[in-house]
Chain A
Amino acid sequence: MSKVTNILVCGVGGQGVMTATEILAEAAISLGFDVKKTEVAGMSQRGGVVTSHLRFGPEVLSPQILAGDADLLIGFESAEALRWGHMLRPGGVALVNSGRIVPPVVNIGLFDYPDEPVAQMRALGLRVHDFDATALAVQLGNIRLGNTVMLGASSDWLPFPAEVLRDAVLARFGSRKPQLVDANREAFAAGRQAVAGETLAA
């Protein structure tokens, strides 16, 4: 592989976007790639917008992915996936958690939440795989597993075997909370299954 792979992970502050990207980065590093990772966000904590850029390949210069250059968009929240849809390259793929996080500005009636964010993305001609990762995580016993579910979903769209990413996920939890390893293995598999069927076109 000579080109640089661009992965954009987006969501809402507090969802674990940065951790997920970090794990993707660790997988790429374990394979010997040059890797850069950056966050592009306003004040990303406390419920704001978070986007994390990951680039890896033989040599990576700028850490930023440009509009129209992302191979993969991993959207942790529907409206955020719609907001960043233009980052995908033609032929790129979006994996979207259809779960919603409605912010206070919508609650107090200043703005509307888009009716069908995923449908809007498809209408724009984007290739989207969506599923309710939040619900899946809750079903598996912990809403925080949503992170791993999304990584599982992305694992077959990477230019390296899904197992490399799975091992990076398990290594991270294994060192911090060993009791979570099995749950994460399950969450990873569940996410992978949820969008099974296609792979990333070269």
Chain B
Amino acid sequence: MSASQPVPAAARLFLSGNEAVARAVWEAGTRVAAAYPGTPSTEILEVLAKYPDLYTEWSINEKVSLEVALGASMVGARAFCAMKHVGLNVASDALMTMTVTGTEGGLVIAVADDVGMSSSQNEQDSRYWGRFAHVPVLEPADSQEAYAMTRAAFELSERFRTPVILRLTTRICHVKGVVVAGEREAVEPGGFTKDPRRWVMVPGNAKPRLPLMFEREAAVRAEAQTSPLNFVVDGSDRRIGFVTSGPAFMHVREAFPDAPVFKLGLSCPPPLESLREFAATVDSLLVVEETEPLLETELKAAGIACYGKDVLPRTGELAPDALHLGVARLRGEAVPEPEHVVPQQVFPRPPTMCVACPHLGVYYTLSQMRNVMIAGDIGCYTLGAGHPWNALDSCISMGASMGTALGMDKGRGKVDENKKVVAVIGDSTFMHMGMQGLLDITWNRGNVTVLLLDNRAVGMTGGQDNPGSGRDLHGEETTRVDFAKLCEALGVKKERIRVLDPYQLPVLFKALREETKIEEPSVIITDRPCVLIDHYVPTKPYLVKEDRCTGCGNCVDVGCPAIHVTRRDKEVKASGKEVDLSFVRIDTSACTGCGLCVQPCAPEAIIHAEPVQTLQPVQFVRK
């Protein structure tokens, strides 16, 4: 039961919000859809890509993907783009002008906020972009609504000639529910009409369009007053009335089944008059919104008394337990005792890099270097900030390692004079936003050594393709960027660019030592595929010869999850110094034989295992 399977109309599908959005985009007759992968939005385009009758692409960043969608809309086609919340910051430059030009073919932007921050560097409320850019915002509450509101968004976009933001959250994108789907509409693009006063946004043309934008906003506000996307669920207990949107609606209904609820689907601009009428029917009003007190502020500014973040958590999701607490606080009641055992404290289990990941060697090497400041970036390799490497000193946003490193270099005082500045970035991130930063480094003569970790995939989001992999969203071959030449074009001297194998630790270490000594921009490109994509070829596993292992623990510092400590001990050296010993075992069923941990093992205790029973192809023991 996948979203891209051709199914009869009115079939009951079990879809995630992302799949439901994709299904609806396809049904809406969309011709062009673009995105840059980013959790929790990634799957929308992956699902859309499976439909034959529309153009889909991975773009190199969200701004480009939005521009592609706008171009399609200009020629009258229905267009779609998807991104995660931080992606909209990148795309915002295009958005803020599109809202002035308006659109032709329906244009919907799905933005997935990571409420609760399961995998992002910040928690950010994209509904603000709706207010800032004067575009309508729709907020579905589950998969069925994600499907229906996506269809409604295209209709709204065309009726008002405006881009529409579909605000999703992790709890929409990745929650599966039952969806009743329909069929694809045939929508023929209306064609491009030359109209420089509309599409060429120089001041003389843009100025007369601003009043039009505000007229449109007023019209959408009137629409919000009567739209069926905004409705009241009646309730018998009128002590508290709730105003809510998105998945919080489901939590409110679950926690307070008898309370009246004003559910906002078309939440921007908010239907203030309807909300005022609703407020008059209840004793007190509680606004339940994730993440910012946005509507709460708007209601208060309109003179409608309400509670909100004063009793509810300021961050994270508003699940039923948080609501119970908030309402108890509002009523001045004691918080009821939970009926369950006390949560037990168990060790943390943070995500780790994969067995044999080509980044392991890079971080092992970095962790062995003294006197370095290391600017990190967004991707799998951000995990290098964790144990055992602790090898990153910063991580801000896509591509930011470049500028941050340059800033560290230029801003350092006497205490940091002798430190080397290193910037780490992945292949996809480099193309997304890093190239400009590298150009800034070369142009401004920054003394920075860049480690460009090319694993030929967008690793963190599941190994999607990019121009570095030489394949597109459909897995088809296309231009493959030559990173060495690209860096050279961006101003790095040819002799300061090295392409290395990250599994060759001594070579890597030597190169890093040399390049950080030289006082000019340099780039070390590590060239090995991510172990999760099909270019990676595992070889014979290794094992530890116990009688040779001295317990030095060097291999543990490599950080491969296939290495396990079996016994700890202490040893007192002749100098009187006490050292910790860790004796190890390699999980031969997990080890792929990359050879990384073999290199720091002085007594050569890590050797090739005899060929072990392979798990592929699978052999079953019949009884």
Most buried by A among B340, B349, B352, B556: B349
Is A37 among interface residues, defined by CB-CB distance under 8 A? yes
Q: Given the interface contacts A85-B344, A89-B340, A182-B620, does A108 sit within 8 Å of B565 by beta carbon?
A: yes
A125 to chain B, nearest CB (A): 7
Dominant secondary structure of chain B at its interface with chain A: loop
**Known contacts A34-B178, A141-B618: does B349 contact A110 (CB below 8 Å)?**
no
Q: Mark B164-176, 1 if CB is under 8 A from A, else 0.
A: 0000000100111
Contact indicator per residue, chain A 122-150, by CB within 8 Å of chain B (1) or not (0): 00111000000000000111111000000
A39 and B349 in contact (CB under 8 A), knowing A66-B320, A85-B344, A108-B388? no
In the complex formed, the residue of B with least CB distance to A4 is B254
Q: In the complex, which residue of chain B has the Cβ closest to the Cβ of A41?
A: B118
In the bound assembly, the distance between CA atoms of A88 and B338 in angstroms comes to: 12
Most central of B251, B255, B347, B580 by chain A CB within 10 Å: B347
Contact of B347 among A29, A86, A106 (CB under 8 A): A106
On whether A29 and B620 interact (CB within 8 A), knowing A47-B561, A86-B343, A103-B352, the answer reads no
Please name the residue on chain B nearest to A190 by beta carbon: B623
Instruction: Compute how far the CA of A163 lies from the CA of B377 in the bound complex, rounded to whole angstroms.
Output: 49
Q: In the complex, are the beta carbons of A183 and B618 less than 8 A apart?
A: yes
> Does B47 interact with chain A (Cβ within 8 Å)?
no
Against B, the Cβ 8 Å flags (1 = close, 0 = not) of A77-93 are: 00110110111111000
B119 within 8 A of partner (CB)? yes
Inter-chain contact A82/B354, CB cutoff 8 Å: no
Residue A26 lies at the interface, judged by CB distance under 8 Å to chain B:
yes
Cβ of A13 under 8 Å from chain B: yes
Which residues of the partner chain A approach B563 to less than 8 Å between Cβ atoms?
Answer: 107
A104 at the interface (CB under 8 A from B): yes
Q: In this assembly, does A159 line the interface, its C-beta being within 8 Å of a C-beta of chain B?
A: no
A27–chain B nearest beta-carbon distance, Å: 11
Contact of A38 among B174, B178, B343, B352 (CB under 8 A): B174
Decide if B348 touches A105 in the complex (CB within 8 Å). yes
Beta-carbon nearest neighbor of A43 in chain B: B351
Q: Decide if A43 touches B347 in the complex (CB within 8 Å).
A: no
With a cutoff of 8 Å between Cβ atoms, the chain A residues found around residue B589 in the complex are 143
List residues of chain A with CB under 8 Å of any chain B CB.
12-13, 22, 25-26, 29, 34-39, 41-49, 60-64, 66-68, 79-80, 82-83, 85-90, 102-114, 117, 120, 124-126, 139-144, 179-180, 182-183, 186
16 pairs of residues in contact across A and B, judged by CB atoms under 8 Å: A38-B171, A45-B462, A46-B354, A47-B561, A63-B175, A63-B250, A64-B319, A86-B342, A105-B348, A109-B582, A110-B387, A114-B346, A142-B618, A142-B620, A144-B615, A179-B618
Q: Footprint of A on B, CB under 8 Å?
A: 1, 12, 14, 118-119, 142, 171, 174-178, 247, 250-251, 253-255, 319-321, 338-344, 346-354, 380, 383, 387-388, 462, 556, 559, 561, 563-565, 568, 580, 582, 589, 615, 618-621, 623
